[in-house]
Amino acid sequence: MTHRAPLVVKLGGRALEAPGAPAELALELASLVAEQPVVLVHGGGAEVTRWSEKLGIAARFHDGLRVTSPETLEIVVAVLAGLANKRLVAALRAGGVNAIGLSAADGVADIVPHTETATLGEVGTVGTIDARFLEELLSAGRVPVLASVGAHAGKLLNVNADDLAAGLAGTLGASMLVLLSDTPGLRLHAKLVDKVDADSIETLLAHPDVTGGMRPKLLAAASAVRQGAARAVIAAWDGPGTLRGLAQGAAGGTFVERAATLASGGARD
């Protein structure tokens, strides 16, 4: 069993599209893992959309979540649990990270059908996390790399990667949940918000500037903090040093904590 609170990192589908970014991430993780356990969760929505278009299946979304038909589910599983997961694991291992590729369906989490199944289709949400299984992997020096594909009653389901990462971070008592994508954080009136209170997220969702994929990110960040993570941050990958800087509280994203307030200096250009 590990006694050090892990860092949980969720990689958005476009977070590492820049040339050389996966190799840079591997080098940074190799350094971080020597100091702290790390769990990775990855998306891959852009690639799922590209494959869907190749196969003549239109991508549809509802409140930032992918509407998943049975045909789309097959693409989601093939891309996320297959190509995207193994490609990332290969890149990490080449950089010296002792990565192991899994999905939520591999004994990591119990998944339940989404309450909006009628609208979203083959989509699930996180029920419980097998913390002991993950802690055994972390204690052995492994870095779990988790695809957001789950199962319920023998049936595969698409799971929002932000939600999976939040459940992991809360259950494991993470020192931080880092939600990395191609956006630097929450912007209100074109200004980047540095810090928000986890208990104010529902109010923020009513703001007209909070749209698309930012909605599930904010909900996931707040959920992680409420479940036991010390804090969460929504940020963009900005090359080597990104994760270490965020873990140390450096500016560059929107931090979500309990009892945080939007002070007069809480937003910047």
Q: Which of 12, 13, 121, 185 is catalytic?
A: 13
7-268 classified as CATH 3.20.20.450: no
- Which one of the listed residues 43, 45, 101, 150 is annotated catalytic? 45
Of the candidates 12, 44, 101, 162, the residue annotated as catalytic is 162
CA separation, residue 119 to residues 65, 66, 122, 137 (Å): 10, 10, 9, 36
Full DSSP string of 225-261: HHHT-S-EEEEE--STTHHHHHHTT-SSEEEEETT--
Q: Are 48 and 76 in contact (CB under 8 A)?
A: yes
Residue 13 pLDDT: 61
Per-residue model confidence (pLDDT) at position 264: 33
Q: How far apart are CA 73 and CA 87, in angstroms?
A: 20
Is position 195 annotated as part of the catalytic site?
A: no
- For residue 43, indicate whether it is catalytic: no
Residue 20, amino acid = G
74-109: pLDDT as tens digits: 999 999 999 999 999 999 999 999 999 999 999 999
| Residue 157 main-chain phi, psi, to 5 deg | -140, 145
Catalytic site residue from 185, 213, 217, 253: 217
Considering the candidates 10, 170, 185, 195, report the single residue annotated as catalytic: 10
- Per-chain mean pLDDT for the chain: 90
Domain boundaries, the chain: 7-268
* pLDDT surpassing 80 at residue 6: yes
pLDDT at 12: 82
13 is catalytic: yes
269 catalytic per annotation: no
Looking at per-residue confidence, does 264 or 50 come out higher?
Answer: 50
Strand partners of residue 102: 146
| Catalytic (active site) residue 217 | yes
